[in-house]
A and B are shown apart, each in its own frame.
Chain A
Amino acid sequence: MDWFNIMVTTVEAAVGVETVFYMLAAIGINLHFGYTGLLNFGQAAFLGVAAYGLAVTVVTIGLPFWVGIGIGLASVILLALLLGIPTLRLRADYLAIVTIAAAEIVRLIFRSVTFKDYFGGSDGRYGFSEGFFAMNPFSKGEYGIGPFTFNERVTWVLLIGWILVGLSCLVIYMLMKSPWGRVLKAIREDEEAVRALGKNVFSYKMQSLILGGLIGSFGGYIYALGYASVQPDAFSTELTFYAYTIVILGGAARVFGPVVGSMIFWVLLVFIGNLLNELIEAQYITWMSVNQIGAFRFMLVGLGLVLLLVFRPQGIFGDKREIALDAR
């Protein structure tokens, strides 16, 4: 068994592209769900719309990279408005239903044969990231510490990714220290009480939906650039549920909850995957094959989430006091 390889890939998973892109998706979910109490089950659509906004603008229309980024962000705001205007005045569960359906609709449009000329069908789009890598300050080579290294392209994506994570956390931190954040947290507790105090609840929920969607969309860009391609199935509902798992794992309504949550989530997932892989290759495990690892990991995520909710519902950073109060 190659323990060294398991160790290296596991450690790299703590900071890798996948971790960062889920982290950003989860920071957005944390704003929606953790701070505002909005059940947005369509976060995948926000990431997808941003990533496709970039890809389509550059590849299909032939406009420059930065225009693609701008169109992606504009599409995210438009999507938030489209989802929010009809549902944010209704009870919380309506948003959940509408967003989960909308995310699937968005994915199916991206993957449809009808729009293959625009979105590239199930193959998706590639060849839109040259503008980004043209700005790469890292020359060709490997960067890192000891055995943990990334090539110049991944290093550049990760640098930008972590800067976006840092900025997002800073913005969330500042907002939650402000009266704006106070209104959001109050809405999470009881909308009517907040209305009775003269606050426009609808407007705050909309602002939260847009901001969380925009932060999530950074994750979409990191994905698109990290893999230099977009495929519709990367933005399935699974992404959203992983992001929720990450938020709950790290602790909802905590600034660094999603950051730590995503790192732990991916370290565990990669470690278990690699370990199983090695054990199967070495014939220690014979009751399952290598191609079943993915599904098995999925089951473990579900089991882990259940155990987490039973034994530590407040997550790693959560405040037990805040959870316990619900029992009253």
Chain B
Amino acid sequence: MHAETKPTDHKAAALAAFKDLQREPGVTKPDPILVVDNVVRRFGGLTAVDVKHVEIQRGSITALIGPNGAGKTTFFNQLTGFDTADAGEWTFNGSRMNGVAAHKVARSGMVRTFQLTKALSKLTVIENMRLGAQNQKGESFFRALLPSSWRAQEDEITARADELLARFKLDAKREDFAGSLSGGQRKLLEMARALMVRPELVMLDEPMAGVNPALTQSLLGHVKDLREQGMTVLFVEHDMDMVRDISDWVIVMAQGTVIAEGPPDTIMSDARVIDAYLGAHHDAPLSEEELEEQLQEAEAALEAEVEEEAGK
């Protein structure tokens, strides 16, 4: 189906970029597309986000993980202009993005999807897709009244939308109202629609939630395809198998702050991460499986350390 099993140029490049990085929160990346500094968002007494420094490597797939309520969605909202941060600065492609309106953020090439899917129910699937295209002549009031001025562009947009729909296996639903789609199909539609914007950085908030396993595999394939096409992906996900499968780098948030960064295969053995996920229950595993898991993780961590020592 997808050619992602053998490492491709883009994957190799991404992995190479991360190879020698320190596994510390806020570590600087060789070629960051997004650089975030001191972003704070408080809700009353609760500090939902307090990120000191984070960089997202261009052309990579970065996972943002963390327990429920860690502030991942809130962090997305700040970066994309859907909520106003109390403090902080961030640059995308070198230009400042704090205080920029959401639609301008999207236009500049930083496009997000929502954890709670926002399919436009009373528009058909194909209309949802067309809406994503940028710089549409027919979207200006006066030119809208002259169909000849936008017909050709509309045809191009439709062709591109149909291609994407086919890729996301939604072509059979083309003329259906988006409201008639299943939850998983809506996730697919939202992702496909975001791609109509032609983003440079795609920010996906739990794209796989509620998607069945078979479809998940093809979704993972799509995400890897995005990297092959030169896009940068930042995504939130709870399922560690998926994170391990597709991400080049993992950023871990807990209680609003970035507590750890590292490659996907070792990040879960980081003591800070285990702490954050298990909290007070760290010493008291809840089930057999969890005990197994913890022991294995501890072992893996030890092995990794031994290997590192040996390497020096």
Taking Cβ atoms with an 8 Å cutoff, the residues of A that contact B are 171, 174-175, 177-183, 185-186, 188-190, 192-201, 207, 211, 321-322, 325-326, 328
Instruction: Verify B114–A193 contact, CB threshold 8 A.
Output: yes
How distant is the Cα of A195 from the Cα of B134 in the complex, in angstroms?
A: 12
A324, closest chain B residue (CB) = B179
Could you say which residues of chain A place their CB within 8 Å of the CB of B136? 179
Q: Select from chain B the residue with minimum beta-carbon distance to A323.
A: B122
Whether A186 pairs with B177 at a CB distance below 8 angstroms is: no
**A178–B147 contact, CB under 8 A?**
yes
A196 touches B80 (CB 8 A): yes
How far, in Å, is B172 (CB) from chain A's closest CB? 18
| A201 contact set on B, CB distance < 8 A | 103
Report the minimal beta-carbon distance from A316 to chain B, rounded to whole angstroms. Answer: 18
Given A179-B130, A186-B120, residue A321 in contact with residue B177 (CB < 8 A): yes
Q: Is there contact, CB below 8 Å, between A193 and B118?
A: yes
A176 and chain B: residue at smallest CB distance: B144
Contacts of B101 in A (CB 8 A): 195, 200
Asked if residues A189 and B121 are in contact (CB atoms below 8 Å), the reply is yes
* The one of A180, A181, A322, A326 that contacts B140, using a Cβ cutoff of 8 Å: A180
Residues of A close to B147: CB separation below 8 A: 174, 177-178
User: Nearest chain B CB to A249's CB is how many angstroms away?
Assistant: 20
Select from chain B the residue with minimum beta-carbon distance to A197. B132
Interface pair A195/B144, CB less than 8 Å apart: no
Stretch at the interface among B59-67, B104-112, B298-306: B104-112
Residues of A within 8 A of B228 (CB): none
Q: How far is the CA of A183 from the CA of B154 in the complex (A)?
A: 14
With A174-B145, A179-B139, A182-B127: A197-B122 Cβ-Cβ less than 8 Å = no
Give the dominant DSSP class at A's interface.
helix
Q: A171-B145, A196-B112, A325-B177 are in contact. Are A179 and B154 (CB under 8 A)?
A: yes
> Roughly how many angstroms separate A304 CA and B44 CA in the complex, as a whole number?
47
Given contacts A179-B139, A180-B144, A198-B134, contact A186 B123 (CB under 8 A): yes
A186–B134 alpha-carbon span in the complex (Å): 15
B227 within 8 A of A: no
Query: Which residue of A is nearest B132, CB measured?
Result: A197
Taken residue by residue from 15 to 58, chain B's Cβ proximity to chain A (1 for < 8 Å, 0 otherwise) reads as 00000000000000000000000000000000000000000000
Residue contact A196 to B102, C-beta cutoff 8 Å: yes
Whether A186 contacts B144 in the complex (CB less than 8 A), given A196-B106, A328-B179, comes out as no
* Interface residue B184 (Cβ < 8 Å from any Cβ of A): no
A residues in contact with B102, CB < 8 Å: 192, 195-196
A-B contact pairs, 16 of them (CB 8 A): A174-B147, A175-B144, A178-B144, A179-B136, A179-B137, A182-B130, A189-B123, A194-B120, A195-B81, A197-B103, A198-B104, A198-B106, A199-B103, A199-B131, A199-B139, A325-B180
B121 and A180 within 8 A (CB)? no
B194 interface contact, C-beta 8 A:
yes
A194 pairs with B131, CB closer than 8 A = yes
Question: Which B residues are CB-close (under 8 A) to A192?
Answer: 82, 102, 114, 118
Is B197 part of the binding interface, using a Cβ–Cβ cutoff of 8 Å?
yes
Given A179-B154, A186-B131, A198-B106, answer yes or no on A325-B121 (Cβ-Cβ < 8 Å): yes
In the complex formed, the residue of A with least CB distance to B196 is A197
Scoring A186, A199, A207 by chain B CB atoms within 10 A of each residue's CB, the highest score goes to A199
Known: A182-B123, A325-B179. 10 other contacts (CB 8 A): A179-B150, A179-B154, A180-B140, A190-B120, A193-B119, A195-B82, A197-B197, A198-B107, A198-B111, A325-B121
Chain B residues, Cβ within 8 Å of A190: 118, 120
